[in-house]
Structure formats: structure tokens, C-alpha cells
Amino acid sequence: MNKSLFKKTILTTLLLSIINSVAASETTFKVAVVKGAIGTVDITKGEIASSIEKLTTNKTYKEFYANKMNLCVAYLQSNENSKSESACTSAIKSLESMPETKKRVKYLTALNYSNRGVARFRQNQLTQALSDFEAAVAIDNNPITSNNLVHMRLQLPVSNTEPAAELSE
């Protein structure tokens, strides 16, 4: 894809957030897909197999960050968490070539880190998930990233260490 077209598209893209409940947990993480990108309508309708097929077979825009971001969420919805993590990482890398000073790029990068954090959480990689959620908030503290970091912290085991009590006679 033409780099100029890529920059124009990234600056005009609107995001749509959807809720993704994590199985076997009361925690609700929010994930984000790119409105208007391939697969978005299918993902929001719950037609996950169809969205994955469209996103993996479209050769023209396969390397476009929005499709990688949507593929990450589609894999999450299908419980293919290892593929989801890989797609999220690919989306993050595709945004690295963009100027980080652009507010939209920071926002998208943060959302991709947050999406990857959900994938890692679902793989029980709690330390890596927490790191992703913290990175997301550090890049852009928005309602999606901050919500996910709060929910992640609630999932972490509480330390069993208590302050030592002084013995007295």
C-alpha cells in the first residue's frame, strides 16, 4: 500500500470498541476493532469465521494495520489466542513506522497493546498481559486501556505476606 495513502487512512480512521468477555472469569476486557476495515461488520455481528476468512484471504490489504488489528480481535473471539497474540504484535509493528508524535498513532498503538494484553491474559501469561496493559496506558490513557489495566490488576494474586508481628510476653 502507498505510504501516503496509509498515513491519510490512519489519520481518518475511527475506532469502534466492542466488549469481549473472557471465558472462565467474571472479568470483562474491552477490545477495539477498526470501523470500516475488512471484517469489522462480521466481528460485531459475531460471524467470526467469516471475518477471519476475509482478513486472511484479502491479499491487497493484508499488511494494513487495521486488518491486523481486526484479525487479532477475530482470533480472540474464536479463542485462537496464540494466533491473536501474533496478529496483535504484527499490528503493533506495522504502526511503528508511523510518526509517534501523531495522536491517532499513539491511540491505535495503545489499543493494540491492550488487545494483545487480552490475548496474553487468555493464555494465562499474566506478567506479559500486565506489561501490555501498563504499556497501553503509558502510551495513551483512554477509557479502554485504563479499564483493561484495572481489570487485569484485579485478576492478579494478592501477596500472602503479612507484616511480621512483634512478639510480646
pTM equals: 0.78
CA angle 13, 93, 9 (to 5 degrees): 20
For the chain, the structural domain boundaries read 14-155
CATH number, domain 14-155: 1.25.40.10
CA angle 126, 131, 132 (to 5 degrees): 100
- What pLDDT score was predicted for residue 10? 38
- What pLDDT score was predicted for residue 97? 78
Tens-digit pLDDT profile for the chain (169 aa)? 444 444 433 333 334 444 344 443 445 899 999 888 888 899 888 899 999 999 999 877 767 888 999 999 999 989 787 899 999 999 999 888 777 667 888 999 999 999 999 999 999 999 999 999 999 999 999 999 999 999 999 988 765 434 444 444 4
Helix, strand or coil, per DSSP, at residue 105: helix
- What pLDDT score was predicted for residue 25? 46
Helix, strand or coil, per DSSP, at residue 17: strand
